[in-house]
Structure 1
Amino acid sequence: MATFANPETRFDLFGGAEELPPSLRPRTSARSTSPSSSSTGTPASSSDSEEAETRATTPGVDEGKPAWVLPGEQWAPRTIEPAMDGSDFLWQMTEEPHRTRRKAILKAHPEITKLMGHEPLTKWVVLFVTLVQFSTAFYLRNTPFFSWKFWILAYLIGGTANQNTFLAVHEITHNLAFRGVRANRLFAIFANLPIGVPFAMMFKKYHIEHHKFLGEDGMDTDLPSRLELLVLKTVLGKTFFCTFQIFFYALRPGFIRYQAPTRWIALNMVVQLSFNALVVKFLGWYSMLYFLLSSHMAGSLHPCAGHFIAEHYLFDGHDQETWSYYGPLNILCYNVGLHQEHHDFPSVPWTRLWKLHDIAKEFYDPLPAHTSWPGVTWRFITDPQVGMWSRVKRKGKGDPRGNDGGGGVELVANAGGLKDE
């Protein structure tokens, strides 16, 4: 098992680092056979052993010419060797790539800071989707739970709407619906109502850590546990995970990393349970079960649920730990498919992620991306080379640099949702 890199070492392109981590060192690109050198001006290591690994030796090639055509090729994934056998996760000694790439992108395109900030449209989308769910719940108030109509509507309308709501809360968690943190918190509690289970305030705590400590064992609760790796190895186990993954994401954090309750979590619970009681009292249990079943469908074998796996699992034998998806289902999901872009800049709202992508296109075009969320789910289940173990993990106890997770938070106060109050 690899050991964690010296926490005193700074692996960023513009922080005066003398050496980049192996996964970020220049390498010969598939697009060109000329010698490697960083497009940002960072030289490769001067040691002979590293020179052989990171520079091409083609005779007669101009030594000063970059080895890659686009800056993004510097972050292109490497092939995992030896191939993963399902017995363990991929342990890395390097820091997560987003902080370093963010610095490079901002240096090349400082105008990206203008994309940061809240998006007023978010609140109207949330209100519309919430109205759709309330209307459907009212319509089904006298429909038996074990009926085809109930389950079909819960899957088609409820699953899609509640997946949209999950991702609305994700957007609001980054303080991107309103200018103020308090307003975003209160609105997240409101958006939580159709879900049926209070999760918004607890999700905020864990999700902020997911950005700050991506891949860190014991800190990033998006990572599967070793128990999951051992128990869910087979096709049947992976099918079970995909069918009930919403429960894994809901329950895993409590086992991996305890978070002390806060007054906001308490308020979230009181509001949600009070709302549930009112639904049962005035509409009946069928309406309440519709909300709960919709939440299950949203995190089960639903086309939009593929994003849970697509975002950070390893595919194609690469060590790329964040993947984007640029397909049509982004329309229903706050463009969460643009996940490379989101992790690079958490303070850019969903409506401007495509603009971010277009501005920094040379950084994102060289990176592999998914073409289908349902296809990702199918492949995860059926491909013996992919499974719960297909995740990057790092050893560490938080961020020794006191890094706030980046994303331009220091440039736009509270815009990235990585600071609480």
Structure 2
Amino acid sequence: MATITHRKQPEKQILVENPPSDAPIQKLNDFYWTEHGEPHAIRRKLILKKYPHVTQLCGPEPLTKYIIFGVVSLQLAVAYHLRNVSFFTWEFFLLSYIIGATANQNVFLAIHELSHNLAFKKPLHNKLYAIFTNIPIGIPYSASFQPYHQLHHKYQGDEVLDTDLPTPYEAVVLSNIAGKAFFATFQIFFYAFRPMFITQIKFTYIHLINVVVQIVVDILIVKNWGWNSLLYFIFSSFLAGSLHPCSGHFIAEHYILNPPETYDPKTDAPPVETYSYYGPLNFFTWNVGLHNEHHDFPYVAWSKLHKLNEIAKEFYEDLPQHKSWVMVIVDFIFDERVLLYNRVKRISSKAVDSTKFVPEVTCM
């Protein structure tokens, strides 16, 4: 039995009953529970043993900050262009979907790079630049993302600490075609709000700066350009996490789209729980498709993930991979075998205070 503390009502405890380790998943219609450790730490040790020089790939990528500046500038330019264009026009929608959503997905994942301190050497500089990067999203996001995301890396699959996992309540309600279509359309809200109800993160001065800067910028945009420009930012953020080709990475990274016919957690190793994608959309998304490589070495920047794959190719070439993020969304919605339960999950055994900083997972 796991106890989850409600963020706004600490006295309210949510109890989630875990299945026994030898219970058949077909009977439970539950997550893929396992007592096996997450695979990335194991593979990282094997790769480092065979190719110790991969540590040379670790560290910030100086080009990152300039690309971010260009994308933020592009979004500001389009927002200015749309200042007098009605929201209820094809021009507004198409620019929001084609340019805005793609650019804001790039912004989300730029913040992801910055959360791993991969643009500057000093963590504070990455945090502050992430606040600047946040501007086209329209709402403060960057300061909260980093601690939650580092928990996801350090405790992948943990029922309490990995807030990338759907909750049991989501899985019960949304594991049908209509529910999955709803989830895929509005998944940005699930990823934004789910963490706040699962694991509490301490509010810091970085969060305060993020909120203040974003509010000030939003006020200046509305005052000088009008509400349509701010609406462009927010609508672009929604579309970036909705039915958009680049948003397929959210589902593609850890959902099991080809579930095994049988699974016994007592005797079987868990299904592969991280999947990579090597297609062209990586160009717009900081190579986030190379997700096994990223989880194996979170301190290798986007620009060197292909090199990591090339060096340790035998560790990756036999892993299952996705060919299309668009088809990932389609299969997720319409394949009856694919449910929100299709995630590997681990009973939480860590006594971790999630309000404290979680150390970055490095190459070593």
TM superposition score normalised by structure 1: 0.76
Superposed CA offset, 1:226-284 (max 9, x none): 11001111111100100000000000001111112111111100111111111000000
Answer 1 or 2: higher relative contact order, Cα 8 Å, separation at least 6: 2
2:362: which partner in 1? 407
Q: Tell me the distance in 1 between the aligned counterparts of 2:209 and 2:46.
A: 41
The structure 2 residue matched to 1:197, chosen from 115, 118, 139, is 139
- Contact 2:257 2:331 survives alignment (8 Å): no
1:333: which partner in 2? 285
Point out the structure with max Rg over C-alpha: 1
Q: Is 1:377 equivalent to 2:319 in the alignment?
A: no
Give the CA RMSD over aligned residues. Answer: 1.7
How does 1:100-111 map onto structure 2 within 5 Å?
Answer: 100-111=42-53
Shift of 1:405: 6.1
Shift of 1:109: 0.5
Q: Tell me the distance in 2 between the aligned counterparts of 1:106 and 1:407.
A: 12
Shift of 1:407: 3.4
Q: Tell me the distance in 2 between the aligned counterparts of 1:154 and 1:86.
A: 42
Q: Is 1:95 equivalent to 2:37 in the alignment?
A: yes
2:73: which partner in 1? 131
SS at match of 2:286: coil
Shift of 1:317: 1.8
- Contact 1:86 1:233 survives alignment (8 Å): no
The structure 2 residue matched to 1:216, chosen from 158, 164, 182, is 158
Shift of 1:366: 1.0
The structure 2 residue matched to 1:164, chosen from 88, 106, 109, is 106
1:231: which partner in 2? 173
The code of the aligned residue for 2:227 comes to W
The structure 2 residue matched to 1:393, chosen from 314, 334, 345, is 345
1:270: which partner in 2? 212
Shift of 1:370: 0.5
2:15: which partner in 1? none
Q: Tell me the distance in 2 between the aligned counterparts of 1:148 and 1:183.
A: 39
Q: Tell me the distance in 2 between the aligned counterparts of 1:181 and 1:397.
A: 29
Q: Tell me the distance in 1 between the aligned counterparts of 2:313 and 2:52.
A: 14
Superposed CA offset, 1:109-154 (max 9, x none): 0110000000001011101111110010000000011111111110
- Contact 2:293 2:308 survives alignment (8 Å): yes
The structure 1 residue matched to 2:319, chosen from 367, 374, 377, is 367
Superposed CA offset, 1:368-404 (max 9, x none): 100000010000000000021100110124379xx95
The structure 1 residue matched to 2:228, chosen from 266, 282, 286, is 286
Shift of 1:315: 2.1
1:242: which partner in 2? 184
2:196: which partner in 1? 254
Question: Using a 3 Å threshold, how does the CA distance of structure 1 residues 314 and 301 change in structure 2: closer, same or farther?
Answer: same
- Contact 1:217 1:395 survives alignment (8 Å): yes
SS at match of 1:221: coil
- Contact 1:244 1:299 survives alignment (8 Å): yes
Superposed CA offset, 1:76-128 (max 9, x none): xxxxx967578211101111010011000000101100000000010111011
TM superposition score normalised by structure 2: 0.88
- Contact 2:61 2:120 survives alignment (8 Å): yes
The code of the aligned residue for 2:225 comes to L
The code of the aligned residue for 2:245 comes to P
The runs of at least 4 aligned residues of structure 1 exceeding 6 Å deviation read none
SS at match of 1:386: coil
Aligned length: 331
